Amino acid sequence: MVLRLRLARVPGPGGAKRHRPIYNIVLAQARSARDSKPMEVLGMYDPVPKETPGAKEGDRKTKEIKVDVSRAKYWLGVGAQPSNTVWRLLAMIGLVEPRYLPTGQQTQNALKAVRFPVHQNAGTSGKTRGEKAAASKSMKGNTMVGKGEIGAGTTSPMNPNEA
């Protein structure tokens, strides 16, 4: 059986709600039920776009994703398969190459010029990058810096004043 990184719809803190989905990002056996206990909870995904605190009228809303990047990387490294949705989310921060890209000459040229960070050696640095790739790079770089600073390298900090 294969391990999957997938979403599991869970009842929120106030109990199960219609029209108010909230998902755990979990690692589970592919053939196990959605609601069964997963092997590991890697984070959560709130698919309902919310206004950021202090936002003005017409500001863009945000969808919140919390994920343990180092654990996700580890499980991808040992062959866990992300589901389509999780693949899309993880691609945004450069943990996997995007599964679907807009087709056409422009995209082909862009892909020739830029490979995604997962396919690059640690030493090489990209030149001109797309928005997504830049974002992913910064996230990866940031987390790596973070690990170095913390020391143990196993946990990401959750408390801003801890580390």
146 is a site residue for other proteins (CB under 8 A): yes
Collapsing DSSP states into helix, strand and coil, what is residue 23? Answer: strand
Binding residue (CB under 8 A) for other proteins from 20, 34, 63, 99: 63
Q: Cα–Cα distances in Å, from 109 out to 4, 61, 106, 124, 134? A: 32, 32, 5, 20, 17
CB-side exposure of 98: number of CA atoms within 13 Å? 15
62: left (phi over 0), alpha (psi -120 to 50) or beta: beta
Q: Which is nearer to other proteins, 93 or 114 (CB)?
A: 93
Question: What is the rounded distance in angstroms from the CA atom of residue 10 to the CA atom of residue 12?
Answer: 6
Instruction: Tell me the per-residue interface mask from 79 to 118 with other proteins, x by CB under 8 A, - otherwise.
Output: ----------x--xx-------------------------
Question: Shortest Cβ distance from residue 54 to other proteins (Å)?
Answer: 6
34 is a site residue for other proteins (CB under 8 A): no
Tell me the CA end-to-end span of the chain in Å, nearest whole number: 39
Question: Shortest Cβ distance from residue 155 to other proteins (Å)?
Answer: 4
Binding interface with other proteins (CB under 8 A): 10-14, 22, 24-26, 37-38, 40-44, 49, 53-54, 60-69, 71, 89, 92-93, 131-132, 135, 138-139, 142-143, 145-146, 149, 154-158, 160-161, 163
